[in-house]
Structure 1
């Protein structure tokens, strides 16, 4: 199979049609013209291709879910929604106007899962390439995938375009599994010593530290330092 056929447009970005396919099930009044109107109002800013076509990321999708939910369920005008979004962009979790006991985070839709077909449409991956990623243990062998699989598969496509295929990345998966075991052991040991069970946040904190150390080692190796 030719490289161009196996890895078409590994951008991970969605067209207007793909955005509608994702969201119209929950927001039946959503249309291309409404998407363009929200853009004109400055509430969302999709990327543009060289040809001028709009492209939307997963972050755009979640922002649209928030905008449309605030309109439909809380009847907020666009001016007020813009103020809410400004607070969100500053990293805050504002109270929803008119709903004093609810913050924006309480209405954000949970991350959807994607079917294999949706995942391939979002990334441009071929069925064969997705199968290779699953066979290498880099993606779960499942009927549905979490949304972060879009970013993972997009990166795998970018790597493959540069000669690093899923098969080459099997050692990375093995190393990640060993790190997970190391984290589990560390969290369990700390929990026993403190007498308090430790949870997912502790595991993620340790994973973040390992990521920092690994990235530093990799950068030094590449730079020859």
Structure 2
């Protein structure tokens, strides 16, 4: 789709929102709810994603009477990878899919980049805020520099939630963090001399072997119990 002018955006939205105007769209831009690119001459250039974003905002205003603050929070969550469910509900954490490396180890988000707050991790994993905080304190969850958690933290939280049902607490899981760090160190050691795409391929391949070995050893040990 070719970039649209602001007038073309108004026309695209007019059937569903006949009262939308150029001034309205400029106001929403000034509020930071949409940020179209600018041409070299300074003209706004809207993409299809910008139009859908505006449609979401206008529906939320008209159908739910959401204030701009609430809409801004919803858009920020969508930008972090949460899934919009329409203006009738807040964005939600994406449905998890199977982990292709360790099929039985639990769910993994389906490859999309996502950044979750601690509250969102708790809701999606079934853990209360204190349990999430304990996992962070014991190094099982590691938010990034921006304070958000990635999909692997969600998978770890869900696994920890499953273990918690058997009385396993965060403090009991520190050995897993230490073992994981050692395995990561091994991957870095054997791939450290490589650079660029070759390094990425090697890290992926060695990482898969490490995960497969870890899973095989755990499964083997459980099969031989007793």
Q: Output the TM-score relative to the length of structure 2.
A: 0.49
Structure with larger Rg: 2
Higher helix residue share: 1
TM-score (normalizing by structure 1): 0.49
Bigger RCO of structures 1 and 2 (CA < 8 A, at least 6 apart): 1
